[in-house]
Amino acid sequence: MHKQYHCISKDSVHYQVSPLTMSPAAGPKVLHVAGHSSCGFYNRITKCLSSVSLLFPNRLRVIEHEFDDRTMYRQWLVEDGFRNNFCDQEGKEHVACPIVWISNNPIDGDPDPADIEKYLGGHDATLDWCRDFMEPAPFAPIKPEPETVNDGHKADHGYDYDLVVIGGGSGGMAAAKEASILGAKVALCDFVKPSPQGTTWGLGGTCVNVGCIPKKLFHIGATLRESIHADANFFGISSVGVKPDDMMGQLPNMKTETHWNVIKDNIENYIRSLNFKYRVGLREKSVQYLNKLATLKDAHTVEVVDKKGNVSQITASRVLVAVGGRPTPLDCDGGNLAISSDDVFFLNQDPGKTLCVGASYISLECAGFLAGIGNDVTVAVRSILLRGFDRECSERIGDYMKEHGVKFKTQVTPSKLEKLEDDRIKVTFSDGTDDVYDTVLAAVGRTADTAKLGLESVNVVTNPKNRKIMTKFEQSSCPNIYAVGDVMEGCPELTPVAIQAGKALARRLFGGSKESMDYVNICTTVFTPIEYSCVGLSEEDAIAKHGEDGIEVYHREFLPLEWSLSQMRHDSNAFAKIVVDKKSADEKVIGMHYVGPNAGEIMQGYGVSMKNGLTYRQLVDTVGIHPTSSEELVTLSITKSSGADAAAGGC
């Protein structure tokens, strides 16, 4: 049929099974390419297919049929009629070089017409096929379908409500409103028990009243003050009437004064407006709001007590516990003299010289904003900062806070608190030292607020260490009683998590959904003076899971542009790093970390990518927005294993 005829066979693999490819279990896809050696299109496509087969040796085998010249090729294809073996009309009319088809079996030698599976086309069609072949399949995280116990709920159950929610925080309100939208009859019970110092607040739970919202607003005020002190004069901003000096042409640092009651009252007024909106929101969604303290009497009966002590009972087919947690008291002699994060935002006077006990994010955030508004602040640390977070990033936060005036007493705990005649508090530490403070703030952990909920009467199992409810897909050991948010064991203590989990649960209970809450790869931010955001695994957890040889770390230290003019900022670098699974295709990103300004705003978008299987290659192929700090995360190239300096230069 032709003078010279040879074939080259290679196998190839790829990520995705397209309509024209086979699964790995079915063996490699077999492509035949025929043409003559003097044709540039034939030579180009054979090189392309050979490269693909080398990249993916288990998914593709290429067999080349090469003719000496155009005449011999057309003789075989047209005059001898090989093209008539194709089912496609386009294949039957093909005259150009090359021609490519797919067969069932990888048989070398002369092409077997009986083995033809599909006509593919010429040069351009084959290039398109290669592009599809190389395209990774869309990453679709697999969520397990909830396997729950039948809770006995029926449409004609005969109880007062389909659902009673105990707890008016973020998760409870989200679940209650979603269930009502789906047609359930819902009541929500919320009653704030005073803190040991007598502090109370309105509807909305910890986040809006004594957590995320006031904390972030105080943090904003503190960073604003810091920026005025450190940056304003370098941007040419001064108090009215102040002129640059004659020698250097520079302005002096601006001086400020913080008025505690102004910021405190303004924040309280804003929070009261949110409390009102939440009540309106429940009413608009037809949720019955009961400002009453709830206790479980049995699996379907809830006893409620109003602020006047009046007792009544309501019944429900299903009960959701969303009571969150409260600060763990300081366990030492005189520990009752300490306030907690439940109290600090309601103090009627500036806390003054403050001791923050604990190394949690709550302790460091409070220490940060109190120091940021001008107070003398010390943090008592028993072991390490920010346990559970990335160690390298945590240490950077500690170093930054020390450089900006926060004192640290390490490897100590308070052993005794004593009230002095001037109402100040003398603290004796475990190392024998002592000091006197205006305020002692305990932030040594949180305990689920379930002690007097009556869970034992319905055999709901809790963790004895923290009183959190043990669940499987938010369902407790009592099938019709559920839990979401901080009260649930294993749930990240984050407001958006509680909201999403509450909505997902309501949709499963009353909307027929099978979607479970995904607690993996959730972004979080610590609002310390230098902010820290992360998603995925810390470097330590990545090593524990994948082994030290199984990961790589890309990192960079840099000076954010907004800090670049200030001489007071030149030792305050930001830091970015990603942790990748070195053994995965294209190095899957398993952890992202950023320490610097606007951390939460920066990390949120990357969290979406992490949910969808982000790889290092996709990250660095993304064009950054210049000049931004977020840009640093898509230009990371220095590996920790290389030992190269992670410090970055300019553009």
- Which residues are marked as active site? 626
C-alpha 447/C-alpha 439 separation (Å) is 22
Amino acid at 612: N
Residue 301 DSSP code: E
C-alpha 469/C-alpha 494 separation (Å) is 16
Beta bridge partners of 574: 558
Specify the 3-state DSSP secondary structure of 631.
helix
C-alpha 207/C-alpha 224 separation (Å) is 22
Element (DSSP H or E) covering residue 53? helix 40-55
Lay out the sheet containing 439-442: strands in order across: 407-410, 377-381, 354-357, 439-442
CA-nearest of 137, 129, 124 to 102 is: 129
DSSP string, 320-380: EE---EEEPPP-SBTGGG-B-TTTGGG-SS---SEEEE--SHHHHHHHHHHHHTT--EEEE
Token pair 């009752």: residue: 336
C-alpha 527/C-alpha 401 separation (Å) is 12
Q: How many helices (H) and strands (E) does the chain have?
A: 14, 25
C-alpha 292/C-alpha 523 separation (Å) is 34
Amino acid at 83: R
Beta bridge partners of 311: 305
